[in-house]
Amino acid sequence: MSPPPSGTESAFLDSRDEILAFLLRRLRCPETAADLAQETYLRLHQSERRKPADNPRALAFRIAANLVVDYLRKQTVRSRYEAAHDDEAAAVESAPSSGLAPDQAADLGQTMDRLKAALSELPVDSRTALLLSGADGLSYARIAERLGVSERMVAKRIAKALKHCRDRLEDQID
């Protein structure tokens, strides 16, 4: 027999459909709304363990609203830098010849293709951190602020991305 639900669990269960509808109106994606509703419950439960809420229902809606803001902010950053990456790739492909010998130009083109492939294999967060650092020249602190992670996590993502790209380029040479 399971224990009776706590006040927070009960409040969440009573308003779960309303929270889901709230999330769905803002996100227009049932799967994402369901994921964020689950995350809302988990954070509400964690909050209950630290300090019981005076109004668990209001807290649940506040948590859900904050999760929507975080999610939309991350989606905006991801789409902006994926678009920037696509623009950079198009610019490289349409750039006039630099006077390289045909075999050098071919080698450079193959290297660029391998690099593009390596970048596309990276997780979005790692690729975004790398592009923000390299292409936009942002500091780790600014990248951390934009991605909502610590500077240490930014450094790890960039190091991992650089290692992956280097390994992929070396694999192609061998």
Mark 115-153 as b/e (b = at least 16 C-beta within 10 Å). beebbeebeebbbbbbbbbeeeebebeebbebbeeeeeb
CATH topology of domain 102-173: Arc Repressor Mutant, subunit A (1.10.10)
The Cα-based distances of 46 to 9, 17, 59, 105, 116 in angstroms read 11, 21, 12, 57, 41
Q: Do domains 7-73 and 102-173 have the same CATH topology?
A: no
pTM: 0.48
Tokens standing for 66? Answer: 């904050």
Share in percent of the chain as helix, strand, coil (round to 5):
80, 0, 20
Per CATH, domain 7-73 is 1.10.1740: yes
pLDDT at 19: 95
pLDDT at 13: 84
- Between 99 and 169, whose confidence is greater? 169
Does 2 have pLDDT greater than 70?
Answer: no
Domain residue ranges of the chain, discontinuous segments joined by +: 7-73, 102-173
The Cα-based distances of 5 to 11, 14, 45 in angstroms read 9, 11, 11
